[in-house]
Amino acid sequence: MPIDGNLYRPLALVWVIFQLIAHVCATPIDIASEFRVKDLPGLSLLPPLEQPVMHAGHLELYAENSTNYFFWKFERPPANSTIKSEKLIFWLNGGPGCSSMDGALMEIGPLRIGADGNVLFNNGSWMEAADLVFVDQPGGTGFSYTDAYDRELDEVAGDFVVFLAKYFRVFPQDLAKQVWIAGESYAGQYIPYISRAVLDENAKPEPAFGGPVALEGALIGNGWISPDHQSLSYIPFAVQENILSKTDPSMPKLLKQHEQCQKVINSRNPEIRKVESPQCDSILDVLLEVTKDNSASQDKQCINMYDYRLRDSYPSCGMNWPSDLEYVNPFLRQEKIGEYLNLKKMRVWNECDGQVSRYLRARHSIPAIDLIPDLLKEMPILLFNGDKDIICNYMGTEAMISDMKWDGKYGFEDSEDTTSADWFYRDDSAGFIKIRGNLTYTRVYGTSHMVPFDKPEVSRGLFDIMTRNYKPVTVDNSTGVATPVYGEDGSTSFDQGSGSKEADSDQTSRPSPSTSKGSGSKLAADRSWTFYAFVLTVFMIVMYGLRYLYKNLTSRPSSILSKYSKMNPDSPGRDFSREVSPSGGASVAGGLLKFNHSNPKKKSVRWLDEIQTDNQGFSPEDPENGIFGRVLNKFGYGDQAYQPVDRTDDIEMNGIDQFIIQEEDEEFDGLGRDAER
């Protein structure tokens, strides 16, 4: 039966109202509220200005292999939000397979764990400068889980693109923010791959994120970026830092292993680039072995590879560090904490997962160093190193930079393009800075493999350096730059103390964002009474419209034959489902990254940045979630307990000619160490 003009208006009204209801019910406000962290032990004891707004939980990436990523988001509390943050940092720890809860609870996050199991406020949190999101990835790391482990770095990058697409569905307001990706250790491999994948996804006509991500830059601390190259730094670093003497009886054994690594590098086909080699990995193993002090107590026989000022048992050699693990481990393994963090399926938390490391060998991946020169054409990158770290030491990073070519030049060549400065925080010398083009390098004095763990407030200045939020100063007749001191109310000051004075410029240097931002509105995290009042009002309007429509239909004259026939008026069809993840993942220009999730993915890589943990992998899916189905998330379970891992790492090193041997490669069948980077 044709629709009469008098009926068209109520039908159209009802259709529009249903569209409105569907939109309201599907709004991310609803989804985000499901992830709200409402309490933690000791949280209520903190002053209001120190109680962050938190969201946490799992986001399902691929249903077919139960891949779910866990995230924990921190924002400044409303009482401390004089200026709403327009900056967002995604933080990744390394391993591979080490949980980013290290970063959340022992490094840059706003909370630390006390001996009594209560949360404490971290005065050096980067949350004062930006909102923070800590992600356990790849699948199987920390609270994340999967049935298919990643094996290659392009798979890791593709999965993170899918995660971001899911994340921005839940928090669409964050798509308008300036985004940085930061992390440490083996994240030196993750971050360049992920950055490349995000930029490539942004270039598509319809990015999976719902729009382009304003990727402003990346920060990599003590990064494992060029493993074989950096491994050549171990012996020179040990000698320079007086860990080992040039005349030590063990030197021939060390030099023999060093030679094996150099041979591999010299004989390698330049067209075939591998992330790391066991011959180079083993240099650190030998170094830790020959420096073992059998006369010391059992818990102090080995040098801590992450901070050579400390000692540990052998062969752990730092795997039981940092000391806060004593509190973090039991805290995250409590069932009630899992409930607070919205874990629908409990998984025993381990700092590092050995399964992830064993699968993510990256045998067909190129080292991340090969991606950085092209990335520098599109975004800034800051590399920073603590000067007390052995495994990813500053000499290796500086040598790597010297041999890297970008913008037509190698390293920080003497030129007008390179800027160098001492870095001060308050009245203290914090480190030094070198800048050329889009690359910034900072060495941080008196810090370990985990710079923010040792000096939280100083480390926050790294983000200020990245965003050029510093000021020229003169301290004790030495000129340099100072990063700001943050107040409790979120304000910043460049008052460095009585021993310092500002230099010529009285303006804070702040760069203009190089990436365009959206204008998205700020959405409330939780539903309020106004939300429910609105829904009730819409419902009443719908009922009134239906009643009006019914009266019109029943009051119209009809044929006496109509009662013998069924009337099926057409109504507009509408698909309210929304696909969250791209089917193809991300790709890197030149075919370097190909995300193919048709096969189970697994990861295994050997690094020392953290400890073992259980992992599971995942395959891609293109889920079509209904209006309400999108609020559901899958969660995984794991029961592998924390335990120290055998060490298998590579480290960075400075170029020291006397240790370079020009010979061909030889076969090597050494044992690698599964360790965290």
pLDDT one-digit tens code per residue, 593-618:
333 333 333 223 333 333 333 333 32
| CATH code of the domain covering residue 341 | 3.40.50.1820
Instruction: Give the residue-averaged pLDDT of 525-549.
Output: 59
d(C-alpha 484, C-alpha 486), whole Å:
6
Asked if 139 and 160 touch (Cβ cutoff 8 Å), the reply is no
For residue 33, pLDDT over 70 is answered with yes
Structural domain includes residue 428: no
For residue 498, pLDDT over 80 is answered with no
Q: Which residue has the tokens 């004989």?
A: 267
Asked if 225 and 153 touch (Cβ cutoff 8 Å), the reply is no
For residue 130, pLDDT over 80 is answered with yes
The pTM for the full model equals 0.74
Q: Decide the pairing of beta strands 478-482 and 418-425.
A: parallel
Task: Write the pLDDT tens digit of every residue in 194-246.
Answer: 999 999 999 999 999 999 999 999 999 999 999 999 999 999 999 999 999 99
Judge residue 504's burial from the number of C-beta atoms within 10 Å of its C-beta, 0-12 exposed, 13-18 middle, 19 or more buried.
exposed
Structural domain includes residue 627: no
Which range has the worst mean pLDDT, 1-5, 101-105, 195-199, 490-494?
A: 1-5
Tell me the pLDDT band of 492, cut-offs 50, 70 and 90: confident
Structural domain includes residue 48: yes
Residue 542 confidence (pLDDT): 65
Task: Write the pLDDT tens digit of every residue in 355-412.
Answer: 999 999 999 999 999 999 999 999 999 999 999 999 999 999 999 999 999 999 999 9
For residue 30, pLDDT over 90 is answered with no
d(C-alpha 14, C-alpha 252), whole Å:
85
Could you tell me where the DSSP H helices lie in 491-629? 529-555
- Domain of residue 57, residue span: 29-407+438-450+591-621+632-677
Structural domain includes residue 107: yes
Residue 493 confidence (pLDDT): 84
Structural domain includes residue 301: yes
Asked if 616 and 67 touch (Cβ cutoff 8 Å), the reply is yes
Residue 488 confidence (pLDDT): 73
d(C-alpha 353, C-alpha 149), whole Å:
12
Count of structural domains within the chain: 1
Structural domain includes residue 385: yes
φ, ψ (nearest 5 deg) of residue 539: -60, -45
Which range has the worst mean pLDDT, 5-14, 257-266, 427-436?
A: 5-14
Active-site annotation, residues: 185, 389, 449
For residue 439, pLDDT over 80 is answered with yes
d(C-alpha 384, C-alpha 433), whole Å:
9
φ, ψ (nearest 5 deg) of residue 429: -80, 115
Identify the sign of the CA torsion 212, 142, 31, 121: negative
Structural domain includes residue 508: no
Residue 267 confidence (pLDDT): 87
Structural domain includes residue 489: no
Residue 605 confidence (pLDDT): 33
